């Protein structure tokens, strides 16, 4: 295939030849647990690769063995996702959390230290704070805007003489769209790398990737996704993924084999369908989000808006945004005037928006971070991270933006009425 083509041109064909499959234009679902080898020599060669016992020979392709290790639907999907990030390799998992936990435990061992950015997705936050310590893994956090020398000093103070084996970053961060400078963090990772062991930088790219942000270009070693969100895009699959250099992805795939955290054929097939439309979906959603953010910005019921298209021109965040993001995306959070009561009335009165967690889908979703997705974050951290009782998070889908604005207008009116009747 022509290397110069854009990923969207290849999503229907890359890594698949219809003529090897009875002419089926779409790849069939390979609903099988195991694959027949042509002979023992072939079986032996495949197993050597699967267990990382030797390097691939020039032009050698890994064959199918057993569906926990690999299968055609997942294999095609992995090769197609890698094109978006211009990565050597990709890997899929049964959920975003499976991708995150399998990846972290591939590089961070008992006695090691993990350095991570805050805030991160609630499940990731729990895994870092409550699961990793059970394996005697130390953790150190940092927040947006902190400079590299401050971060390095904090690690050296907390764990004298130790170098973290991984830096884990989520940007933009959920739910307030806070941005971490990937290039800066890659310098921190390089500082902690030694001849014997590279400190691996992994970036959760769920909010903007794989279309609007490419962390590998800014020094990340691995990109991590909840494929449940924009990659799946239809709220009908739970899945996760990573992309990156073949060496690192291969290491994680070996771990995946033993955790059994691979993606099944049917879900892989659904994601093959989804990748065909990812660019048009993400672009249309981002375009609508801009229209809706413009409406919200000037609304008297909106106290503060957290939208990447409206960063203060002079701010450091804006400089980092311009450097590493290609679009503001379609996630909007805002503080409603008032508190939890006003936020609840607003959310309870949206109709076209579904009151649900998750994001990045064809339908618009709305939720209340402080009592839902981020309820597990400590009250002090919630204040520090701006997750207030008045915060509402919107994920903009493919509906007409004016129809969505009408919904928002009506919901605000109910809040205003409720407030004025309370005063009377």
Ligand X SMILES: *Cc1c(COP(=O)(O)O)cnc(C)c1O
Q: Which is nearer to ligand X, 206 or 349 (CB)?
A: 206
Nearer to ligand X, 154 or 234 (CB): 234
Q: Closer CB to ligand X, residue 78 or residue 342?
A: 78
Q: Phi and psi for 162 in degrees, rounded to 5?
A: -105, 145
Give the number of other Cβ atoms within 10 Å of residue 246's Cβ.
15
Q: Which residue is nearest to ligand X (CB)?
A: 96
Under 8 Å between Cβ of 308 and 329: yes
Q: How far is the CB of 204 from ligand X (least distance, A)?
A: 5
Residue 316 C-beta: closest distance to ligand X, Å:
22
CB of 80 to ligand X, least distance (A): 19
CA gyration radius, the chain:
23
To which H or E segment does residue 256 belong? helix 246-259
Least distance CB 357 / ligand X (angstroms): 8
Return all residues near 144 (Cβ < 8 A) that are at least 6 apart: 117, 173, 178, 179, 180, 317
Report in angstroms how near the CB of residue 55 gets to ligand X at its nearest.
Answer: 32
Q: Is the dihedral of CA 89, 219, 211, 362 positive or negative?
A: positive
Q: CB of 124 within 8 A of CB of 100?
A: yes
Q: Which is nearer to ligand X, 124 or 407 (CB)?
A: 124
Smallest distance from ligand X to CB 237, Å? 9
3 state DSSP class of 116: strand
Contact 310, 297 (CB under 8 A): yes
Q: How far apart are CA 257 and CA 261, in angstroms?
A: 7
> Least distance in Å: CB of 324 to ligand X?
16
Q: For residues 96 and 397, which CB has a smaller minimum distance to ligand X in the complex? A: 96
Nearer to ligand X, 103 or 124 (CB): 124
Minimum distance of ligand X from residue 119's CB (angstroms): 10
The distance of closest approach from Cβ of residue 124 to ligand X in the complex, given in angstroms and rounded to an integer, is 6
Q: Closer CB to ligand X, residue 43 or residue 123?
A: 123
Give CA–CA dist 308/319, Å, rounded.
12
Number of alpha carbons in the 13 Å side-chain half-sphere of residue 100: 28
Nearer to ligand X (CB atom), residue 85 or residue 170:
170
DSSP 297-357: HT-TTEEEEE-GGG--TTSHHHHHHHHH-S---SEEEEEESS-HHHHHHHHHT-SSSEE-S
Q: What would the two tokens of residue 282 be?
A: 């993400």
204 vs 335 by CB, closer to ligand X: 204
Q: Smallest distance from the beta carbon of 342 to ligand X, in angstroms?
A: 25
* Best CA proximity match to 242, nearest among 110, 256, 61, 336: 256
Question: Which residue stretches of 112-213 are H helix?
Answer: 122-126, 148-158, 182-191
Contacts to ligand X by CB under 6 A: 95-97, 121, 123-124, 170, 174, 204, 206, 226, 228-229, 238, 240
How far is the C-alpha of 195 from the C-alpha of 343, rounded, in Å?
52
> How many angstroms separate the CA atoms of 236 and 213, rounded?
24
Of 371 and 402, nearer to ligand X (C-beta) is 371
| Closer residue to ligand X in complex, CB, 103/349 | 103
Residue 28 CA to residue 20 CA, distance in Å, equals 11
CB of 168 to ligand X, least distance (A): 11
């Amino acid at each position: 295939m022509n290397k110069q083509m854009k990923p969207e041109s290849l999503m229907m064909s890359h890594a698949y030849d219809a003529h090897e499959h009875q002419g089926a234009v779409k790849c069939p679902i390979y609903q099988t647990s195991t694959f027949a080898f042509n002979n023992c020599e072939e079986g032996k060669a495949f197993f050597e690769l699967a267990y990382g016992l030797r390097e691939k020979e020039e032009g050698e392709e890994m064959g199918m063995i057993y569906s926990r290790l690999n299968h055609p639907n997942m294999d095609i999907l992995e090769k197609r996702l890698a094109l978006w990030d211009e990565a050597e390799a990709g890997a899929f998992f049964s959920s975003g959390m499976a991708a995150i936990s399998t990846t972290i435990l591939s590089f961070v061992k008992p006695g090691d230290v993990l350095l991570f950015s805050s805030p991160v997705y609630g499940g990731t936050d729990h895994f870092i704070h409550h699961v990793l310590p059970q394996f005697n893994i130390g953790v150190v956090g940092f927040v947006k805007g902190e400079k590299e020398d401050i971060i390095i000093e904090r690690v050296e103070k907390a764990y004298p003489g130790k170098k973290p084996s991984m830096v884990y970053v989520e940007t933009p961060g959920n739910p307030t769209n806070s941005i971490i400078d990937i290039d800066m963090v890659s310098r921190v990772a390089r500082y902690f790398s030694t001849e014997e062991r590279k400190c691996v930088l992994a970036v959760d790219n769920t909010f903007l990737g794989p279309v609007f942000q490419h962390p590998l270009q800014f020094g990340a070693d691995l990109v991590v996704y909840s494929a449940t969100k924009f990659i799946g895009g239809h709220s009908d699959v739970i899945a996760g993924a990573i992309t990156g250099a073949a060496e690192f992805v291969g290491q994680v795939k070996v771990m995946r084999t033993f955790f059994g955290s691979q993606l099944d054929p049917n879900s892989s097939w659904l994601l093959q369908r989804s990748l065909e439309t990812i660019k048009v979906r993400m672009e249309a959603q981002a375009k609508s989000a801009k229209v809706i953010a413009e409406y919200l910005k000037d609304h008297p019921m909106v106290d503060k808006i957290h939208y990447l298209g409206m960063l203060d021109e002079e701010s450091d965040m804006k400089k980092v945004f311009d450097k590493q993001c290609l679009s503001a995306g379609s996630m909007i959070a805002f503080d409603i005037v008032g508190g939890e009561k006003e936020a609840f009335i607003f959310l309870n009165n949206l109709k076209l928006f579904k009151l649900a967690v998750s994001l990045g889908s064809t339908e618009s979703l709305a939720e209340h971070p402080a009592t839902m997705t981020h309820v597990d974050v400590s009250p002090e951290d919630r204040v520090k991270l701006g997750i207030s009782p008045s915060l509402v998070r919107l994920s903009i889908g493919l509906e007409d933006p004016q129809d969505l604005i009408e919904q928002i207008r009506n919901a605000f009116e109910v809040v205003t009425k409720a407030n004025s009747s309370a005063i009377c």
